[in-house]
Amino acid sequence: MSLRSLCTRWLALFALFSTSVLAASPDGVVAVSHPAAAAAGARMLAAGGNAIDAAAAVQFALNVVEPQSSGIGGGGFMLIHLAKTSETFIVDSRERAPAAASADMFAPDGLPMQFPLASTSGLAVGVPGTLRGVDTALTRWGTKTLADTLAPAIELAEQGFRVNRFLAADIAHDGGRTRIHPETAAIFRPGGVPLAEGDWLVQPELAKTLKRIAAKGPDAFYRGALARAIVKAQQRTRSELGAAGKGRMTLADLAQYEVAIRQPLVGHYRGWTLAGMPPPSSGGLTVLQMLGLLEHFPLGDAAQGYGFGSPKTLHTMIEAMRLAFADRALWIGDDDAAPLPRQGLLHPDYLATRAALIKTDSRMDPPQAGDPLPWDSSTAVRPKPSRTPQESPHTTHFSIVDRWGNVVSYTSTIEYTWGAGITVPGYGFLLNNELTDFNFMPAADAAEGNPGANDVAPHKRPRSSMAPTLLFKNGKPVAAYGSPGGATIINTVLNVTLNLIDHGMSMQQAIAAPRLSVTHAAGQVKCEGGAPFMQPRFSVATQDALRKMGHARLGEAGTEGCQETIGAVQAVVIDLASGTHHGAADPRREGTVVQVGQRLDGNQARKNYP
d(CA 353, CA 348): 9
Q: Which helix (H) or strand (E) holds 60?
A: helix 51-65
Nearest Cα to Cα of residue 346 among 330, 326, 327: 327
**Residues contributing to the annotated binding site:** 94, 437, 464-465, 486
Angstrom distances, CA of residue 7 to CA of 2, 11, 209, 599: 9, 6, 22, 20
374 class by beta-carbon count within 10 Å (0-12 exposed, 13-18 middle, 19+ buried):
exposed
Q: Which residues of 209-237 are buried (b: 16+ CB within 10 A; e: fewer)?
A: bbbbbbeebbebbbeeebbeebbebbbbb
d(CA 470, CA 287): 12
459 class by beta-carbon count within 10 Å (0-12 exposed, 13-18 middle, 19+ buried):
middle
392 class by beta-carbon count within 10 Å (0-12 exposed, 13-18 middle, 19+ buried):
buried
Phi and psi at 272, nearest 5°, equal -105, 155
Of these residues, 395, 492, 519, 565, which one is catalytic?
A: 395
What's the CA dihedral at 275, 280, 283, 287 to 10 degrees? Answer: 70
Residue type, 57: A
Active site residue 395: yes
**Residues contributing to the annotated binding site for L-glutamate:** 94, 437, 464-465, 486
d(CA 361, CA 513): 24
Q: Half-sphere exposure (CA, 13 Å, Cβ side) for 199?
A: 19
First to last CA, the chain: 14
d(CA 567, CA 591): 12
Return the SS3 of 233.
helix
Task: List residues bridging with 409 in a β-sheet.
Answer: 79, 399
Q: How many helices (H) and strands (E) does the chain have?
A: 20, 18
Indicate which residues carry an active-site annotation. Answer: 395
